[in-house]
Structures are given as C-alpha cells and as structure tokens.
Chain A
Amino acid sequence: MPADTILETKNLSMRFGGLTAVKAFSAAIPRAGIVGLIGPNGAGKTTCFNMITGFYRPSEGQVLFHGRDITGTPPHRVCNSGIARTFQNIRLFGNETVLQNVMIGCHLRQKTGWWQAVLSMPSSLREQRAVAATSRELLAVVGLEDLAGENANSLPYGAQRRLEIARALATQPSFLLLDEPAAGMNPNETQDLMRFIRDIRTRFNLTILLIEHDMKVVMGICEHIWVLDYGETIAAGPPEAIKSDPKVIKAYLGEEAIPNA
C-alpha cells in the first residue's frame, strides 16, 4: 500500500444468496483526494459503501483504512476510526431539531458520560456547551445556522442533504463517503455543491468518496473514478479517460451508441 493511500479495498465481494452484488472491487484511494464511484442503477455502488462502513460484512476481500484491516468491524467502530457517511435516501433524526441532529454526531467524541450530565458536573456542563457551539459552527459551514431550532423533518430537501453532511462532519472524520449528494438538485444548486465539497475537503482535511449520477458533478470534481456495472469494475482512471472509455459508454448507453464497434 503506497504511503499516501488512506483507504484500500482488496477484492471486495458481496453475495446475497446466488446474486453477486459486487465482485472483486479493488481500489486504492489517495489521501486528500476527491474520488467517485459511478455506474448504472443496481451496479453495486451503495453495496460498496455499506461494506466499507461496516453495514455489510463482505463475502470476500478486505478493507484497509490507514493500513489497518477494518473488514467486518461494526458501523459505530468504523465511524470511530474516522469514516463518516451520508445516505442515498436521507436518514435524519426527524423528530429532533437541526441542532440536535448535529450534536448527536458530536456524541462520539464526547468525554463525559451520562451520569456526569445527570449530576450536573461542571465538566459535563462545559462539554455540553462546547458541543452545542461546535454544532452551531458546523451548521454555519453548511449554511443552516438560522434553522438550528427547526425540526429536521421540516427542512426542504436540499437543506436536509446539507444537514446530513454537517452531521457526518460532527463525527470528525478523515474520510467522508457521500451517497448521491446532488440527487434532486437543480444546476445552480449543483454548482454550489461542487464548490462546497471542494471547500470542506481543504477545511477539514478530508478524503472524499462519492457516488453520483450527475455526470457534471462527477467529471467536474473527481480526480479519479471507478465504474461499476453489474457488480464488476469495468473501468478506473481519471475523468478524461473514463469519458472516452468504450466499456463505460456501452454500460451507460448500450451497444449501438458506440460508433464502429
């Protein structure tokens, strides 16, 4: 594993009964990069996310994070090691306020426990205030500071996506997985999102892996792309190479689309 690789997957495979959702996915993700995972619907992209973040135990293969084997580690420990994620179908804590959602993300790094909170110990009160302050700062980063007291469910769609990212950042990750961050956004919002993703990468020293269907986003910000089709990695490389790869075009558009094939 090269020294500048933060996460590496080796022959990662996932079988559900007789169906192979992902077959031998191998990728080495460079530190501080923004990389993409693309492919048609049902190609196994989210399954890859679930294997990396511990929601699925891979049938075969390994996940190495900072060179350490984290294959099959439960999700909360994976998160503790510095990997955070968002979900394709937004999963906020709907009955809680926007601020509380981010504070829940901060819980992982908290030092005082529940009984110190019950006893109103000064250390706990101080930490509680610090957590609220950090959470407000993160909300300011994603531009939701004015909605801190609103119920998470009542936010518009785009704001919910940004809240999910703020909540993921609250766990202080070094590696962030975004599952279709641009879904349902108009071209203007998409532009803002691209700027925002680049911005948080530098600001929080992140490496970002994203799944995205919007090719403008993928080609615009990803430095390296892996393409999945029916669970198999059919191409990998920088955006320019992917754009002209006949296999990729075939997977997306069908056989006839390729001239002189």
Chain B
Amino acid sequence: MHAKTKTMLNLMAVAVLGLFLWWADDNLDGYQIQILNLIAVNIILALSLNLIYGFTGLFSLGHAGFMAVGAYVCSVLILSPEQKEMLFILEPAFDWVREAQAPFFVAVVAGGLAAALFAVLVGIPLLRLGDDYLGMATLGFAEIIRVLAINAPRVTNGALGFKGIPDYANLYWNFGWCVLTLYVIIRLVASNSGNVFKAIRDDETAAKAMGVDVFRQKLLSFTIGSFFAGVGGALLASLLATIDPKMFTFVLTFNVLMIVVTGGLGSITGSILAGIVITILLEWLRIVENPLTFGDWELQGIPGMRMVVFSLALICIILFRREGFMGKREFNWDWVTRRFRNKAGRHAG
C-alpha cells in the first residue's frame, strides 16, 4: 500500500478517536470516562516501559520512581500559591515551591523533563549493569524516590502528599498525550535508531562490533522512556487530583509491567491492546473483592483479590504464551485491506 494512503488512514483513525471522545464526553457517565482516562495514561506508561524493556532489553523496574518525579513536578506547578499555602501543614513550603506556576501543558512537559533528568543521573552509573542487577538497582532507585518524597516535606508535603490538584487532565489532554507518545515511539522504533535499540536487545557484543556506542544508546532509550513515564505520572496526578508517596510503590510498576508483558515485549500494538483490556479488567474485577453469592453459598469479599487474580493470569501468560498477545508483531493497514479484498474476492467468486 502507498505510504500516503497509510498516512491518510492514520489521520482518519485519529479523527475517529477524536469523534469518539467528543461523543463519550457527553454521553458516558463519570466512572466510564474515568476508565477511558486511565486507559490513555496506562497506554502512555506501557509504551514508555516497552521502549526501555521490550525494544532495548533493559530490565528496568524503576517506572514508579519516574512517574513520581513527573507527578510531583507537575502538581507543584499547577497548584495555586494559595492552595500550596493551605496544603503544607507539616512545614511551610520553600518560597520557590510556593511561587512556582505554569500552565498545564508546560507543567506536564516539565514533569517529563524532570523524570528524564533523573533517568540520565541514575542511568550513567546503573546502565553499565547487566540484566538482573539493573532490575534490582532501578527498583532501589524507585524506592529512594519514594523515601525522598516522604522526607522532603518543604517540597513534597511529606507523607501527606497533595490534595485538590486541579483536574485539568480531561479526555482530550490524556488522549492527546497518548497519541503524541504513540507517534514519537512509532517514529523512533521504525527508524534506524530503533533498529539499533533492537540490536542491543538481541546481541550487545555484535552491536559493539558494528560500531554502536551501546552505553550511549541505552542511556538514550532509557531517558526517552523515562520522559514519557514522567508525563504519564503528571497526567495521573491531575487525573486523580491527589498524590502521596504511598501511591508510587512497586505495585504501580508491576501494573505497567503486566500490561507490557501481556501485550508482548517489543510490540506497540500489544501495549495498546493490553492497556485497554487490563485497565478495564482491573476495574471490572473489583466485583471479586465484594461479597459474592453462588446459590446459598456466600463468599466473603477479600480486599486485594483482584491482584491475586491478575498475578495468576500473568503467571499463566508467562507459562503458556511467553511472547504475549502479539509477540513482536504490529498492526498494519495492509492486514485490513487484505481482509477486505479477500471478502470482496469471495463475493465476486
């Protein structure tokens, strides 16, 4: 198919998404809209982790840390000075924290940039480590960020966190950022730089012999991925209107990891599909945490049950379909047209 046709189809897909959002905004209830918003944010987070882990092969467990950085930076920038005056009850905020102000878009970008900066700082020492060690070290980093947030009350309001963060992150912002993330990562992965990331994943030694500055490319992928993790965190802060250090534990990283692995490491399409399905299931499965009645037999609701179900599901995926829904395959317009043509062919015949 012609490249121009594909661009047209992509633009049409975005337009359809826009129309859907416009319809959803008027016709769906608040809860359903919230789920749509979470889908957008989870897709951003999954794409960013997929770039780092799925495409470049860097086993990073620090996503919650980068999200926390993005969330705090964005929140500080969009809360008004008066709100911050009221919020900081443990210790008064530093003047620059209280006075810092920026429009929402700038605040989200700043959140992403701050996360990217942290990625460079921790990446320089950590990315020299191999697989398992990198996982442990980045996990440690995320925990350090959390402890820092608790112990820097003049910046983060300590364990209390922030409440009443302005809820600018509506459907349009979230899906706008989602489409932007998607565009950047698709362009990147399809370019020769993307090929180099995949080369590092496949065989680091051979990549070095091909003149690839492996450390620099790893740092690049890690930083770009972390930028979008920061963006995701920033959007989440505004979406939930409240953040505190307890929110950014390993469970948050685990949720994103689950989406990426389920969808397929190294498949953008997989991350999107899994982002939609798992976000919906995570909400829908809340019923297993409520009391259930089967005939005359009553089951007590167990809080945390849905995470048990999900962990079991993840174990099953790893056991029976390790490559995830999609493996490394991607959606392609050619599939769609081929299917149409086949149908048309059958009708004609």
Which one of B188, B198, B208 lies within 8 Å of A75 (CB-CB)? B208
Whether, in the assembled complex, A167 has its beta carbon less than 8 Å from a beta carbon of chain B, the answer is: yes
A76 close to B192 (CB less than 8 A): no
Query: Contact between B193 and A117 (Cβ–Cβ < 8 Å)?
Result: yes
Question: Which residue of the partner chain, among A85, A93, A113, A168, contacts B199 with CB atoms under 8 Å?
Answer: A93
Residue A154 is within 8 A (CB to CB) of chain B in the complex: no
Q: Select from chain B the residue with minimum beta-carbon distance to A177.
A: B209
Q: Are B203 and A93 in contact (CB under 8 A)?
A: yes
Q: Which of B178-221 contact A (CB under 8 A)?
A: 184, 187-188, 191-193, 195-196, 198-199, 201-203, 205-214, 220
Bound Cα distance from A193 to B194, whole angstroms: 32
Is B328 in contact with chain A by the CB < 8 A criterion?
A: yes
Q: Is A124 within 8 A of B211, CB to CB?
A: no
Instruction: Compute how far the CA of A87 lies from the CA of B205 in the bound complex, rounded to whole angstroms.
Output: 10
Q: Taking A107-B196, A113-B193, A114-B220 as contacts, is the C-beta distance between A95 and B210 under 8 angstroms?
A: no
Partner of A87, one of B184, B188, B209, B214: B209
**For B196, what are the chain A residues with a Cβ–Cβ distance below 8 Å?**
104, 107
Interchain CA distance A96-B203 in the complex, whole Å: 11
Contact call A171/B211, Cβ cutoff below 8 A: yes
Checking A91, A96, A104, A114 against B212 with a beta-carbon cut-off of 8 angstroms, the contacting residue is A104
Q: Which residue of A lies closest to B220 (CB)?
A: A114
Partner of B206, one of A91, A100, A114, A131: A91
- CB of A171 within 8 A of CB of B210, answer yes
User: Is the C-beta of A123 less than 8 angstroms from some C-beta in chain B?
Assistant: no
The interface residues of chain B, by DSSP majority, are classed as helix
Interface centre among B184, B211, B328 (most CB of A within 10 A): B211
Q: Which of A100-140 contact B (CB under 8 A)?
A: 100, 103-108, 110, 113-114, 117-120, 124, 128, 131
Asked whether A107 lies within 8 Å of B188 as measured between CB atoms, the reply is no
B210 contacts A108, C-beta separation under 8 Å: yes
Q: How far is the CB of B50 from chain A (nearest CB, A)?
A: 15
A151 and B111 CA atoms in complex are apart in Å by: 39
Nearest opposing residue in chain A for B184, CB measure: A118
Chain B residues with a Cβ closer than 8 Å to the other chain, count: 26
A259: min CB distance to chain B, Å? 44
Cβ distance B113 to chain A, nearest Cβ, rounded Å: 14
Alpha-carbon gap, A26 to B240, bound state (A): 68
A199 to chain B, nearest CB (A): 22
Provide the residues of chain A in CB contact with B266, threshold 8 Å: 95
Whole-angstrom CA separation of A87 from B192 in the bound complex: 23
Q: Is the CB of A53 within 8 A of B192?
A: no
Q: Is the beta-carbon distance between A106 and B199 smaller than 8 angstroms?
A: no
Contact flags A58-101 to B (C-beta < 8 A → 1, else 0) = 00000000000000001110011000110100011111100010
Contact of A103 among B188, B192, B203, B209 (CB under 8 A): B192
Complex: chain B residue closest to A110, CB-CB: B192
| A56 is an interface residue with CB less than 8 A from chain B | no
Contact B198 A96 (CB under 8 A): yes
Q: Which residues of B contact A (CB under 8 A)?
A: 184, 187-188, 191-193, 195-196, 198-199, 201-203, 205-214, 220, 266, 328
**Residues on A facing B (Cβ under 8 Å):** 53, 55, 74-76, 79-80, 84-85, 87, 91-96, 100, 103-108, 110, 113-114, 117-120, 124, 128, 131, 167-168, 170-171
For the complex of A and B, list the 5 residue pairs with the smallest distance between their C-beta atoms, beginning with the closest.
A117-B191, A79-B211, A108-B211, A91-B206, A114-B193
